[in-house]
Amino acid sequence: DLPSPLVLVLLQVSVWQELQAVRTEISELEKEKLRISETVRTLVLFLLQLPEYTQALQKGRDVRNRLNQLYLRDAELDQEHYSQALRLPNNTHPDVPVGDESQARVVELVGRKAEFDFKPRGHVELGEALGLIRQRHLSHVSGHRSYYLRGAGARLQIALQNFALDTLQRRGFVPMVVPDMLKAVVFEGCGMQPNAHLSQVYSLDPARFPDLNLAGTGEVGVAGYFMDHAVNWKDLPVRTVCSSTCYRAETDTGREAWGLYRVHHFNKVEMFGVTANETGQESSQLLEEYVSLQKEMFSALELHYRVLDMPTEELGLPAYRKYDIEAWMPGRNSYGEVSSASNCTDYQSRRLNILYEREDGSLQYAHTVNATACAIPRMIISILETHQTKDRTVRVPQALQPYLGLEVIERPKYAPLKYIGPNQHSRPPRPGPNAR
């Protein structure tokens, strides 16, 4: 568990005080070093006669040795100060519920739970029957928590992606393609810790690719685009949308080991915003706008969902306020998170040096807002389980039909592959050599 913010602040103060003391001593010794040098130059004409020369030389050596020690300590303290500063969370909105996940406040319920005259099936059962999803027999191919989408499953991913991108571009969002691999400083600036124990971040082999990590969300890539840049005030708020592949280690949980709910890789459409900070309300207004867009898209997909105002222990480090949306998933018989939206105020912009330029030319730290537009695997779960029929087909929501080109997802005409690999009770014999 992370220490409380108060403990972190006290640690910060302690390190800061020691760092300042070290730097004060460095400054004094560097001045003394200059004085000694002047003394040596003055006395150099009297080298043979004056014992002060030998004393000054020795004193100079002592000062240099001490400075070398202090330089090392200064670097260590500076790194410690930086590392502890990264663990400090943002402030929280006064209306945010206090506590753990159980204290999440339901802001709104939208739609009604789907009703069936049969026992609803889970998305894995439906996906396998319809030839959409494959998770079986992959341990020797791509490992745990991986999957394939095929046929209408692959088309469904592309359709959802294009549906979200089109919806947002019609609202003035600027599309972007972002890198999947980024430096640790960008993750840290976003409030993530790629080098922490049990981090959710995949890191590339440091011997070959030093300081490169795979992004778990498009937010990191877009934030890196704005890093060390200033936006013209006339362009605010900047609304950006990107579609990217996300990679997550999922090292801290054994939950949802099967299915698409928790996987190591997935595609996601992400909204990112940069706003001014003149009234202090700009980013809060953009957060509400992003949540409204999420609701519009999920309602168009004919889902039942609830909007949650997340409590303090669920905000993570950067969020000032965060809303989660959970869709009803009949096969799981529970709500499941399909999106989140966070107002990070100036938490990320101060770490990443994201600013905006006022009309008078002065610079001010911006505010950032991020939100999920469409997390593909969880949206596939919601659609398959909500719109399934008794005959094991899936009705396609009307808003998605132009993108998918189907009204109903049915079993494909081609036969499923037959597994002939290892770990079988009765493995079929291999064909013999070709006759020559």
pLDDT at 137: 85
pLDDT at 152: 96
Q: Is 426 annotated as a binding residue?
A: no
Q: How far apart are alpha carbons 388 and 397 in whole angstroms?
A: 11
Q: How far apart are alpha carbons 33 and 298 in whole angstroms?
A: 69
Q: Is 38 annotated as a binding residue?
A: no
pLDDT at 84: 85
Q: How far apart are alpha carbons 322 and 200 in whole angstroms?
A: 20
Q: Is 265 annotated as a binding residue?
A: yes
Q: What is the pLDDT along the chain (436 residues), one digit of tens a residue?
A: 556 777 777 888 888 888 899 999 999 999 999 998 888 777 766 665 667 767 877 888 999 999 999 999 999 999 888 888 888 899 999 999 999 999 999 999 999 999 999 999 999 999 999 999 999 888 888 888 889 999 999 999 999 999 999 999 999 999 999 999 999 999 999 998 877 656 788 888 889 998 999 999 999 999 999 999 999 999 999 999 999 999 998 755 556 668 899 999 999 999 999 999 999 999 999 999 999 999 999 999 999 999 999 999 999 999 999 999 999 999 999 999 999 999 999 999 999 999 999 999 999 999 999 999 999 999 999 999 999 999 999 999 999 999 999 999 999 999 988 888 877 777 777 787 876 6
User: Domain 5-86: which topology?
Assistant: Helix Hairpins (1.10.287)
Q: Is 278 annotated as a binding residue?
A: no
- Alpha carbon of residue 212 to chain centroid: 15
Q: Give the CA count within 13 Å in the CB-facing half-sphere of 412.
A: 16
Three-state helix/strand/coil letters over 97-110: CCCCHHHCEEEEEE
118-137 in b/e form (b: 16+ CB < 10 A) is eebbbbbbbbeebbbbbbee
- Taking alpha carbons only, the member of 190, 197, 246 closest to residue 217 is 246
Angle of the 282-300 helix axis to the 152-169 helix axis, nearest 10: 140
Contact 93, 309 (CB under 8 A): no
CATH superfamily of 101-409: Bira Bifunctional Protein; Domain 2 (3.30.930.10)
Contacts of 197 (CB under 8 A, 6+ apart): none
- Taking alpha carbons only, the member of 370, 300, 305 closest to residue 340 is 370
Q: Is 425 annotated as a binding residue?
A: no
Q: Is 244 annotated as a binding residue?
A: no
Contact 399, 167 (CB under 8 A): no
pLDDT at 38: 86
Conformation bin of residue 250: beta by default, left when phi > 0, alpha when psi is -120 to 50:
left
pLDDT at 281: 96
Q: How far apart are alpha carbons 315 and 89 in whole angstroms?
A: 9
Counting every residue, how long is the chain?
A: 436
Sorted by where each begins, the domain ranges of the chain are 5-86, 101-409
Cis upstream peptide for 237 (omega within 30°): yes
Q: Is 173 annotated as a binding residue?
A: no
pLDDT at 170: 97
Q: How far apart are alpha carbons 330 and 387 in whole angstroms?
A: 10
Contacts of 315 (CB under 8 A, 6+ apart): 89, 90, 92, 96, 321, 322, 342
5-86 and 101-409: same fold? no
pTM of the model: 0.85
Backbone phi, then psi, for 150, in 5-degree steps?
-135, 155
Q: Is 282 annotated as a binding residue?
A: no
Q: Is 231 annotated as a binding residue?
A: no
Q: Is 358 annotated as a binding residue?
A: no
Contact 330, 385 (CB under 8 A): yes
- Taking alpha carbons only, the member of 188, 12, 186, 5 closest to residue 90 is 5
Q: Is 248 annotated as a binding residue?
A: yes
Q: Is 217 annotated as a binding residue?
A: yes
